[in-house]
Amino acid sequence: MDLVLRAAFVFFLILAVTRAVGRRELSSMEPFDLILLVVMGDLVQQGVTQSDYSLTGATIVIATLAVLTVVTAYASFRIRALRPLLEGSPIVLVADGEILDRNLRRQRVTREELRAEARQQGIGSVADVRFAILETSGKISFLREG
């Protein structure tokens, strides 16, 4: 039972940390970020299993994390009020060609990053954009004028 409680605690801790870090950072990981995630994974494993290296212990932890993943996905699907908490919601970064600086700051996206994303999608100027939306995946969707 101790392993289940530890795994559940770590699951919700990881959920909270990923929501706090922000979707933009998670969608554009640098090599350092990837290494940091691997190290965090090892630290989490040590914290959850402690000195239990048994196959049974590993199975219990994996099953607990899998069940919690399914339960949170189902809760997000069935209970609309939980969706923003569990998945986040899209954020408008540009409306009718005007950059919404407040939303950029809240999501820690610079004007230069926004312009670079626009260029990568074949958009020469942000003024030509009707809406730019930071999706829950961390990608930016652009809807052109017209």
Q: How far apart are the first and last CA of the chain?
A: 59
Q: Do 29 and 100 fall into the same domain?
A: no
Q: Do 53 and 124 fall into the same domain?
A: no
Compute φ and ψ for 97, nearest 5 degrees: 80, -5
Angle of CA points 41, 47, 48, to nearest 5°: 90
Q: How far apart are CA 57 and CA 108, in angstroms?
A: 39
Q: Do 106 and 62 fall into the same domain?
A: no
pLDDT of residue 25: 60
Helices (H), 31-54: 31-49
pLDDT of residue 71: 93
**SS3 state at 121:** coil
Residue 10, domain extent: 2-86
Q: Do 103 and 66 fall into the same domain?
A: no
Q: Do 7 and 48 fall into the same domain?
A: yes
Q: Do 13 and 77 fall into the same domain?
A: yes
Q: Listing from the earlier edge strand, what are the strands of the sheet with 129-134?
A: 98-99, 91-95, 129-134, 140-144
| Single-letter amino acid, residue 137 | S
Angle of CA points 70, 74, 45, to nearest 5°: 25
pLDDT digit string, tens, across residues 116-131: 999 999 999 999 999 9
Q: How far apart are CA 74 and CA 79, in angstroms?
A: 8
Compute φ and ψ for 143, nearest 5 degrees: -115, 120
pLDDT of residue 119: 94
Q: Do 108 and 62 fall into the same domain?
A: no
pLDDT of residue 92: 97
Provide the CA 141 distance to its chain's centre, in angstroms. Answer: 16
Residue ranges, the chain, pLDDT below 70: 22-29, 146
Bridge partners of 91, per DSSP, are: 134
